[in-house]
Amino acid sequence: MNPFVSKLGPSPGKSALAFAVGTRFYGVALPTLDRLAAGLQEGAENAAEAGAALGVAVTNLGFALEMYLKSLRLLVGVDVPENHDLWVLYKTLPLEVKASLEKRYTELVAQRDPTTLFTLSFVVEAAEEGRSQQPEFPKNEPVKKDVPNLLRRAGRLAVTWRYPHDSVPLGDRYSPVQNFEHSHLRLFCDALVEEIRARHPRLSE
């Protein structure tokens, strides 16, 4: 038994409400995320031309992931902490729930052509002149894409993208290079939807 899990009893009504809110956040995010996925070159141009729209999309994806995780917690009867960190919300789920969710995610990843899975690397540029030079984008080293490692890196996704100005150090012009793991975070979001619907069949109606 996970010592950090507090069993409260299932709350399907609250779970359905959280699921509905998450679905609306996801719906706002999808059009821009789909444009990014249309092709890497096209996606890069869209991101450059509509950085604010991308920020809104990724922020809403972060909100969707948060609400889906909270919906799942309510559905399986564990407490929902007052926390927005995706890793915190995930790591204290019951072991069998995490195993089922990770299996769904792994299957979704395996169904995709690996050449279509991508991460967007970016910097935030402040409008005014600053002392920092435009950073060089390093060659991306392979990182583990399993659920725990993915969520450790993306735990504060909505916060990071909601306040892009905070990523630029005071007096500088550019932020450090940051990564948005577009494909794998979307697939994890889809795995969450599948898991919740499998446990709460009325949500599939």
More confident residue, 97 or 8: 97
Residues 6+ apart with CB under 8 A from 92: 2, 4, 5, 78, 81
Whole-number pLDDT of residue 4 = 36
Whole-number pLDDT of residue 40 = 53
pTM: 0.84
Is a pLDDT exceeding 60 seen at residue 3?
Answer: no
Q: What is the pLDDT of residues 125-142, one digit of tens each?
A: 776 666 767 777 667 677
Element (H, E) at 178: strand 178-180
Beta bridge partners of 78: 7
Whole-number pLDDT of residue 199 = 92
Backbone angles phi, psi at 111, to 5 degrees: -80, -15
Q: What is the pLDDT of residues 53-80, one digit of tens each?
A: 778 899 999 999 999 999 999 999 999 9
Whole-number pLDDT of residue 178 = 78
| DSSP-based helix, strand, coil % in the chain, nearest 5 | 60, 5, 35
- Of all residues in the chain, what percent carry a pLDDT higher than 70? 82
Whole-number pLDDT of residue 1 = 35
Whole-number pLDDT of residue 128 = 65
Q: Is the Cβ–Cβ distance between 68 and 192 less than 8 Å?
A: yes
Q: Are strands 178-180 and 120-122 parallel, antiparallel or unpaired?
A: antiparallel
Element (H, E) at 87: helix 86-91
Residues 6+ apart with CB under 8 A from 196: 15, 19, 68, 71, 72, 75, 203
- Of all residues in the chain, what percent carry a pLDDT higher than 90? 48
CA distance 47 to 55: 9
Q: What is the pLDDT of residues 12-50, one digit of tens each?
A: 788 999 999 999 999 999 998 888 777 555 545 545 545
Q: If you write DSSP's letter for every residue of 93-160 in order, what string do you get?
A: S-HHHHHHHHHHHHHHHHHS-GGG---EEE--B-SS--SPPPPPPPPPPP---SHHHHHHHHTTHHHH
CA distance 90 to 193: 14
Whole-number pLDDT of residue 2 = 39
